[in-house]
Chains A and B, each alone.
Chain A
Amino acid sequence: MAFFLETLLGGLMAGMLYALVALGFVLIYKASGVFNFAQGAMVLFAALAMARFAEWSGEALGIGNPLVTSLLAFCGAAVVMFCVAWVIERFVLRHLVNQEGTTLLMATLGITYFLEGLGQSLFGSSIYKIDIGMPKDPVMILENVFEGGILLNKEDFYAALIAAALVALLSIFFQKTSTGRALRAVADDHQAAQSIGIPLNRIWVIVWCVAGVVALVAGMIWGSKLGVQFSLATVALRALPVVILGGLTSVPGAIVGGLIIGVGEKLSEVYLGHFIGGGIEIWFAYVLALGFLLVRPQGLFGEKIIDRV
Chain B
Amino acid sequence: MSTKNIGDVILDVKNISLSFGGVKALTDISFNVREHEIRSIIGPNGAGKSSMLNCINGVYRPQVGAISFRGQTFSHMDSHQVATMGIGRTFQNLALFKGMSVLDNIMSGRNLKIKSNILLQALRIGPAEREEIMHREAVERIIDFLEIQAYRKTPVGQLPYGLQKRVDLGRALAMEPQVLLLDEPMAGMNVEEKQDMCRFVLDVNDEFGTTVVLIEHDMGVVMDISDRVVVLDYGKKIGDGTPAEVLANPDVISAYLGTSH
Say which residue of A176, A177, A178, A188 sits within 8 Å of B97 (CB atoms). A188
CB closest chain-A residue, reference B155:
A303
Please pick, from B83, B99, B157, the residue contacting A195 in the complex, using a CB distance under 8 A: B83
Nearest to B115 among chain A residues (CB) is A178
Using an 8 Å CB-CB cutoff, how does the interface string of B206-238 with A read, 1 for contact, 0 for none? 000000000000000000000000000000000
Interface set, chain B 63-117, CB cutoff 8 A to A: 79-80, 82-84, 88-89, 91, 95-100, 104, 107-109, 111-112, 114
Does B59 interact with chain A (Cβ within 8 Å)?
yes
By a beta-carbon cutoff of 8 Å, the part of chain B in contact with chain A is: 57-59, 79-80, 82-84, 88-89, 91, 95-100, 104, 107-109, 111-112, 114, 118, 121-122, 124, 155, 157-158, 161, 171-172, 174-175
* 18 A-B residue pairings within 8 Å (CB atoms): A178-B114, A179-B121, A181-B104, A181-B107, A184-B97, A185-B100, A188-B100, A192-B97, A195-B89, A195-B95, A196-B109, A196-B111, A196-B175, A197-B84, A197-B112, A197-B175, A198-B111, A306-B157
Contact (Cβ within 8 A) A182 B59? no
Q: Nearest Cβ in chain B — how far from A28, in angstroms?
A: 16
Indicate whether A199 reaches chain B with its CB closer than 8 angstroms.
Answer: yes
Contacts of B58 in A (CB 8 A): 194
Bound-state CA distance A178–B136 (Å) is 12
A145–B193 CA distance with the chains assembled, in angstroms: 68
Cβ-neighbour of A192 out of B96, B121, B122 (below 8 A): B96
Minimum C-beta distance from B234 to chain A (A): 25
**Which of chain B's residues have a CB closer than 8 A to the CB of A197?**
79-80, 82-84, 111-112, 175
Q: Which residues of B contact A191 (CB under 8 A)?
A: 59, 91, 95
User: Which residues in B have their C-beta under 8 angstroms from that of A4?
Assistant: none
B122 contacts A188, CB within 8 Å? Answer: no
CA distance A303 to B156 in the complex (A): 12
- Whether, in the assembled complex, A69 has its beta carbon less than 8 Å from a beta carbon of chain B, the answer is no
* Cβ–Cβ contact B111 & A195, under 8 A: no
Q: In the complex, what distance in Å separates the CA atom of A200 from the CA atom of B83?
A: 13
Could you tell me if B97 and A189 are in contact, using CB atoms closer than 8 angstroms? yes
Q: How far is the CA of A249 from the CA of B100 in the complex (A)?
A: 12
Q: Is the interface of A mostly helix, strand, loop or mixed?
A: helix
B158 to chain A, nearest CB (A): 6
Contact A178 to B121, CB < 8 A, known contacts A185-B108, A198-B111: yes
Given contacts A181-B107, A197-B84, A197-B175, A303 and B99 within 8 Å (CB-CB): yes
Residues of A in contact (CB 8 Å), total 27
| Nearest CB in chain B: distance from A32 CB, A | 13
Q: Smallest Cβ distance from B150 to chain A, in angstroms?
A: 19
For A173, list chain B residues within 8 Å (CB): 118, 122
In the complex, are the beta carbons of B158 and A196 less than 8 A apart? no
B18 to A: closest C-beta gap in Å: 17
Rounded to whole angstroms, the CA-CA distance of A184 and B156 in the bound complex is: 14
Residues of A within 8 A of B109 (CB): 196
Say whether, besides A197-B80, A249-B99, A178 and B124 are in contact (CB < 8 Å): no
**Which listed residue (B59, B161, B172) contacts A196, Cβ 8 A?**
B172
Question: Taking the complex as formed, is A95 at the interface, i.e. its CB lies under 8 A from any CB of chain B?
Answer: no
In the complex, A308→B156 CA distance in Å?
A: 12
* Interface presence of A282 (CB below 8 A): no
> 1/0 per position for A11-35, CB-CB distance to B under 8 A?
0000000000000000000000000
Instruction: Decide: A177 near B121, CB < 8 A? Known: A194-B79, A197-B111.
Output: yes
Residues of A within 8 A of B118 (CB): 173, 177-179
| New contact pairs (13) apart from A195-B89, A200-B80, CB-CB < 8 Å | A182-B108, A187-B97, A188-B97, A192-B96, A194-B79, A195-B83, A196-B88, A196-B171, A197-B112, A197-B175, A200-B79, A303-B155, A308-B161
Can you name the residue of chain B whose Cβ is closest to the Cβ of A181? B108
CB neighbours (8 Å) of A306 from chain B are 98, 157-158
* Chain B residues whose C-beta falls within 8 Å of the C-beta of A287 in the assembled complex: none
Q: Which 3 A-B pairs have the closest CB atoms?
A: A197-B83, A188-B97, A192-B95
* Nearest CB of chain B from residue A133's CB, rounded to whole Å: 29
Residue A309 is within 8 A (CB to CB) of chain B in the complex: no
- Measured in the bound complex, the distance between the Cα atoms of B112 and A154 in whole Å is 46
Contact check, A195 vs B108: say whether CB atoms are below 8 A apart: no
Verify if A1 is at the interface (C-beta below 8 Å from B).
no
Q: State A195–B83 Cα separation when bound (angstroms).
A: 6
Chain B residues in 8 Å Cβ range of A303: 98-99, 155
**A306-B82 Cα distance, complex, nearest whole Å:** 32
In the assembled complex, which residues on chain B have CB atoms less than 8 Å from the CB atom of A187? 97, 99
Q: Does A172 contact B (CB under 8 A)?
A: yes
B111 and A176: CB pair below 8 A? no
Nearest B residue to A306, CB-CB: B157
Q: Within 8 Å CB of B171, what residues of A?
A: 192, 196
A195 → B minimal CB distance (Å): 5
CB–CB B88/A195 < 8 A = yes
Question: Whole-angstrom distance between the alpha carbons of A187 and B104 in the complex?
Answer: 14
Q: Is the CB of B97 within 8 A of A194?
A: no
Q: With a CB–CB cut-off of 8 A, which chain B residues contact A199?
A: 80
Closest chain B residue to A173, Cβ basis: B122
Assess whether B100 is in contact with A184, with CB atoms less than 8 Å apart: yes
Q: How long is the Cα–Cα vector from A179 to B158 in the complex, in angstroms?
A: 25
